[in-house]
Structure 1
Amino acid sequence: MRKTDVVIIGAGPSGALASKLLHAKGISTIVLERAQFPRFSIGESLLPQAMVYLEQAGMLDDVVNEGFQYKDGAVFLENGNKSTFDFRKKSSEGPGTTFQVQRARFDQILADNASAAGVEIRYQEEITAVDMDGPAPIVTAKNQAGETLQYQAKYVLDASGFGRVLPRMLDLETPSNFPSRQSLFTHVEDNITDPDYDRHKITIAIHPEHEDVWFWLIPFSNGRASVGVVAEESFFASYEGDPQEKLQTIIEQTPSLAALLTNAVFDTRVNQISGYSANVKSLWGKNYALLGNAGEFLDPIFSSGVTIAMKSASLIVPLVEKHLNGETVDWQKEYAEELQLGVNTFRAYVESWYNGDLQKVIFFEKPTENVKLSICSILAGYAWDTTNPFVKRPKKRIETLAGLCEATT
């Protein structure tokens, strides 16, 4: 049985970041990853706030040097209306630009950076059991050869993302309060020739007849793009054909997006994921904590997943250090509540998007400068900035603002 201070389940962004930060503090860490990198993942449009955490971990230079697609904002399209947000024009302090990345390569860069610093990452080891009841957690894994391996740690971090290892094994899962939605998505050779198209921004397009059905278009630096549609599962039931036929048909129904993708080559299998929103009873327990999507995943509309994952890693590391040093940690207050501040801000924006309130605000023709700067800060990922009035009571503020926009239209 191997012994270490910390076992991290998963080598994605939160796992790689946490492992690098822990290693820098002299805390022995082993990362157990089920897949072999590189591997496909979604969540390709990063937010500027994430750059803060990459820099903190000494990973930013490697990401910058890769030549990923530069990103400085978002464009929203609806029935001929267009609204642009430049992330450099925001109320919060911090970076205003970021990147749009192929996650297979991005995640590999972060994991390789951690490995180069001395972190042990063990690929193709799948967790088969965890014992959290004893004085020290024991994690059991099986490698590709079918061998059973055991690791004893003083603390366990679950960074398994949608794998949600500890929530499944420790019966922590609870239903999300969001409707069950589905996404169809793929990568295409985009061949976009529209001179007004800005590859520096993610494009969010809304279906002309269903305001809760939306598309993402995320350009990459190599002439390719990620494109996907999100809707409640019942919406897709009325469409015939395989996932690619469904996706292309729904795109064709949306003129603003169809025009951009007129020459696109759909040369990659269309994937689908359903019921991805998830929640848990608690983000922490005896000798463990959940990072990023392993704890909660809201919705892909504002590309918040990677930022929340990195924020969770940044928050948890100094607390694990305190714990290992014998100091008392208030995990609920110092970790869960701190993380949930931003998660709940994003939650309010997701809810307001789907009930139409935020769309009224986004497409309002004459927004005041301060309001747009504040909204832009949230869209850029600065959901923990309590100096922003739209972080405090966000749902109520958006609701009020939507009413004002509607009244003056």
Structure 2
Amino acid sequence: MRGGGLHANRWCGRIGTGRSYMSSNVVGFSGDFDVIVIGGGPAGATTAALLSKRGRRVLVLDRERFPRYHVGESLIPGVMVPMEELGLKERMEAKGFERKYGGTLVWGNNEVPWNFSFSTGGRIPYAFHTRRADLDALVLDRARELGAFVVEDATVKDTIEEDGRVVGVRYALRGLGGTQEARASLVIDASGQARVIGRKYTEVNWNEQLRNVAVWTYFDNCHRLPGDEWSNILIEGTSDGWFWGIPIDKGVFSVGYVTRSELATESGKSLEDLFQSEIASTTKLKELLKDATQAAGYRSARDWSYTNDRFYGKGWALVGDAAAFVDPLFSTGVALATLAGSTLSKVVDQILQYPAIEEKALDRYSNAYQEFFHDIRKFVEGFYDRSKTKGFYFNMAQEMVDPEKENAAEVDFVKLVSGLSGRQGGLFELNVDDLIEDAKSTPTGS
């Protein structure tokens, strides 16, 4: 029976939201699944939705209730690939998410503003700006529609192991005593920086070059960039850091400042005071905010660029921020998470059908994912050298993803910052058919 049938027959509503639901016990389903996904954000919801679409029985556990706040409102065209696969492109339009056609930068050795258009990079000319609470709820609701069992207010306490293999999890529901158990053929950690499984089974490697701190807030009644730049994200460098300015809707902007952690400490200022003093040194951003009013408090985050030593093990795999995350300079987080989730869903579906390929298939996924991530991280590290010109940045992108120079350097730059560069095709087009053929030709028990 396909996942949609299970969903329709056995599950009504959702746990932990205050909405009505029907169940014969606390959670309303048996504890055995094909896959358990820890985390209902973009990575987890995408993975769960696409596995459910393939008829797999999937449980999603998230410690929060949706919609819930999250930063990261600006998307890149790479995210449109899994959104189309999920059938969500039209819904994004219908919800009024604002199209994003490119970026405007005050960056480089002469700090002359310059911009780029996603259309330069080819097949997907736009992405969106969005309130993440709305986007994340949209993707998680799609997972429900496709048959995933979703439990909110559920905190995973530990994994269940048998003979060195992860075979399930123990989780607690908010407001209830004791723990529940769920078992599955595979457990996927999409818990973001909580790294529920990654924290237990692998080590995290922080990127020393990108040990940064960010502080951000929101403004109403902001001006917009002129002409074709109307919906561009603004990235403006300052002497010791940079600002983002994201037009979310109407006159509302998300504005954040990023700098090295040690520089923030050495300044002797609070992050809030540093934010205000640095805004005064901007040019374009200051103009956009000249008649604006701050409409929210401040939030902050530190040291978010990292990778895990391993992306998989016996019975488990990592995806999204649980696997790796890089500095938000080019808004790659959601695209990286959902693209990886899409690929992982295909790989896991094949593993469930041919269990003998698990280790080699997950290793292939891990290598492709890390190559994708490495290109983005390496480019961000190089881009942080603001002593260069835009031509240097274009050429740097070309050297990384198009050394044969088949495209113009600007095209390669846009493809890279769109999440659609050629070398990253390894993650998009990951294939395990040869592993399946080997498994079919290997006698049972050999």
Q: TM-score, normalised by structure 2?
A: 0.80
Match for residue 236 of structure 2? 205
Range moving further from structure 2, 247-256 or 98-107: 247-256
The amino acid across from 2:232 in the alignment is: K
Match for residue 11 of structure 1? 40
Q: Which structure 2 residues correspond to residues 38-187 of structure 1 after superposition, within 5 A? A: 38-78=67-107, 80-90=111-121, 92=122, 94-134=123-163, 137-147=167-177, 148-187=179-218
SS in structure 2 at match of 1:307: helix
SS in structure 1 at match of 2:52: helix
Change (3 A) 1:112 1:359: farther
Change (3 A) 1:358 1:11: farther
SS in structure 1 at match of 2:325: coil
Taking the aligned partners of 1:267 and 1:67, their CA distance within structure 2 comes to: 21
Q: Is the 8 Å Cα contact of residues 81 and 363 (structure 1) preserved in structure 2? A: no
SS in structure 1 at match of 2:305: coil
Q: Does 1:372 align with 2:410?
A: yes
Match for residue 364 of structure 2? 334
SS in structure 1 at match of 2:61: strand
Count of paired positions: 382
The amino acid across from 1:150 in the alignment is: E
The amino acid across from 1:25 in the alignment is: R
Q: Is the 8 Å Cα contact of residues 41 and 103 (structure 1) preserved in structure 2? A: yes
Task: Choose from 362, 384, 404 the match for 1:354.
Answer: 384
Note the C-alpha offset of 1:41.
0.8
SS in structure 2 at match of 1:174: strand
Change (3 A) 1:132 1:58: farther
Range moving further from structure 2, 3-12 or 255-264: 255-264
Range moving further from structure 2, 291-300 or 158-167: 158-167
Deviations 1:252-296 (A, max 9, x none): 122332122111211201101011112111111111110011011
Change (3 A) 1:117 1:333: closer
Change (3 A) 1:371 1:305: same
Q: Is the 8 Å Cα contact of residues 183 and 231 (structure 1) preserved in structure 2? A: yes
SS in structure 2 at match of 1:165: coil
Taking the aligned partners of 1:243 and 1:267, their CA distance within structure 2 comes to: 17
SS in structure 1 at match of 2:50: helix
Taking the aligned partners of 1:258 and 1:37, their CA distance within structure 2 comes to: 34
Q: Is the 8 Å Cα contact of residues 83 and 362 (structure 1) preserved in structure 2? A: no
Taking the aligned partners of 2:278 and 2:249, their CA distance within structure 1 comes to: 26
Taking the aligned partners of 1:8 and 1:331, their CA distance within structure 2 comes to: 18
SS in structure 1 at match of 2:229: coil
Q: Does 1:317 align with 2:350?
A: no
Identity of aligned residues (%): 26
Note the C-alpha offset of 1:176.
2.8
Taking the aligned partners of 2:125 and 2:74, their CA distance within structure 1 comes to: 14
Note the C-alpha offset of 1:250.
1.1
Change (3 A) 1:250 1:190: farther
Match for residue 398 of structure 1? none
RMSD: 2.5
Note the C-alpha offset of 1:382.
1.0
Note the C-alpha offset of 1:197.
8.1
Unaligned ranges ≥5, structure 2:
1-29, 399-404, 427-446
Match for residue 393 of structure 1? none
Larger gyration radius, structure 1 or structure 2: 2
Q: Is the 8 Å Cα contact of residues 19 and 29 (structure 1) preserved in structure 2? A: yes
Note the C-alpha offset of 1:174.
2.9
Match for residue 403 of structure 1? none
Q: Does 1:24 align with 2:53?
A: yes
Taking the aligned partners of 1:12 and 1:142, their CA distance within structure 2 comes to: 19
The amino acid across from 2:378 in the alignment is: A
Q: Is the 8 Å Cα contact of residues 222 and 253 (structure 2) preserved in structure 1? A: no
Range moving further from structure 2, 157-166 or 353-362: 353-362
Change (3 A) 1:146 1:243: farther
Match for residue 407 of structure 1? none
SS in structure 2 at match of 1:137: strand
Match for residue 397 of structure 1? none
The amino acid across from 1:181 in the alignment is: N
Q: Is the 8 Å Cα contact of residues 342 and 383 (structure 1) preserved in structure 2? A: no
Match for residue 3 of structure 2? none
Note the C-alpha offset of 1:193.
5.7
Unaligned ranges ≥5, structure 1:
389-409
Taking the aligned partners of 1:58 and 1:118, their CA distance within structure 2 comes to: 14
Taking the aligned partners of 2:53 and 2:367, their CA distance within structure 1 comes to: 26
Match for residue 229 of structure 1? 257
